Amino acid sequence: MAINLAGIEMKNPVMVASGTYGYGKEFADYTDLNKLGALVTKTVTLKAREGNPPPRICETPSGMLNTIGLQNPGIEKFLKEAIPFLKKLKIPVIINIAGETIEEFAELAKILEKEKVVKGIEVNVSCPNVKSGGMAFGCDPDLVSKITKSVKKAVSAPVIVKLTPNVTDITLIAKAAEAAGADAITAINTVLGMSFDLKTGKPKLSRGVGGLSGPAIRPIAVRCVWQIAQAVKIPVIGVGGIMTSDDAKEFFLAGAKAVQVGTANFVDTEAAVKVAAGLK
């Protein structure tokens, strides 16, 4: 099951999804990380981000909503706190980044490329664009193109663009990323959702809306992967609601070259490793 994904050599096509596996360390007590195809770390930003107020999560039918708000210690601390552990791994490490401006994406990628352990950069364009009042970069093909171009110019490592499904036509965004030089596409990030607490009459999340993940979004993710795989030539990494290797196989049938396991890691600390084992 070994694959070469846009230049990244992986023993198997199963990675963990950004934000659901911390920086890897958190799962090391429970499972052998070296059995993963690759590890993708939680989004890191240039400056530290405190994240959103609680409550940040709630359960929904076969899924969960989250509004973590990209809490992370910022790149400087990330290099000190996360990289030493990641260096000990025998599998490729992909670092997921987000910027508040286009320039920040390139700056982050440049800093990270200096670390030998970093085998790829995953660009999270689902984060809010501070300059345009917080709308996600990933909803605008033009901005996705600009971000991709600037990151590609900054580094020689493979650049993977991770797309949001919260758009009318995801193929337009995927094509923009491909034309701008992206080496691969990850789809999908969480689906915008909302839930109310009947007892209080208020939304269950502090920010009202949040990102839906888990099995509930799998058909949406499979559909997005299928559409993108028809529209572009670069490899597509499928993510959304994968709990088992059978779930992963659906994504391969839709055209994915690799998959990521996210929310399932919370349910079973060995979920991702089991998905990989089940594909053999």
Partner 1 sequence: MPIQEKAKILDIRELAENHFKITLLSKYISTNATAGQFVNVRISEETSPLLRRPFSIYNSEPQKELIEILFDVVGEGTKMLSLKEVNEELDILGPLGTGFEIPTDKKMAILVGGGIGIAPLLFLARALKGKIPAVYVIIGARDKKHLIDKKEFDAAKCQVLTCTDDGSAGKKGLAPDFMLPILEESKSIDKETIIYACGPKPMLKACAEIAEQYKIPAQLSMEEKMACGIGACMGCVIKTKSGYQKVCEDGPVFKAEEIIWE
Ligand X SMILES: Cc1cc2nc3c(=O)[nH]c(=O)nc-3n(C[C@H](O)[C@H](O)[C@H](O)COP(=O)(O)O)c2cc1C
Residues that bind ligand X (CB under 6 A): 17-20, 42-43, 66, 68, 70, 96, 124, 162, 189-190, 213-214, 217, 239-242, 261-264
CB of 4 to partner 1, least distance (A): 29
Q: Per rule CB under 8 A, is residue 200 in the interface with partner 1?
A: no
Cβ count within 10 A of residue 182: 27
CB of 133 to ligand X, least distance (A): 21
Q: How far is CA 227 from CA 67, 179, 220, 223, in A?
A: 27, 17, 11, 6
- Measured CA to CA, the distance from residue 172 to residue 175 in angstroms comes to 5
Q: Per rule CB under 8 A, is residue 268 in the interface with partner 1?
A: yes
Which are the catalytic amino acids? 127
- Please identify, using beta-carbon distances, which residue of 116 and 199 lies nearer to partner 1: 199
CB 24 within 8 A of CB 1: no
Task: Give the helix/strand (H/E) hosting 159.
Answer: strand 159-163
CB of 241 to ligand X, least distance (A): 4
φ/ψ (deg, to 5) at 152: -60, -40
Show contacts with partner 1 in window 7-36 (CB under 8 A).
Answer: 19-22, 26-27, 29-30
Cβ count within 10 A of residue 106: 20
Q: Provide the binding-site residues for partner 1, judged by CB under 8 A.
A: 19-22, 26-27, 29-30, 42, 50-51, 53-59, 61-64, 66, 68, 71, 214-215, 243, 263, 265-270
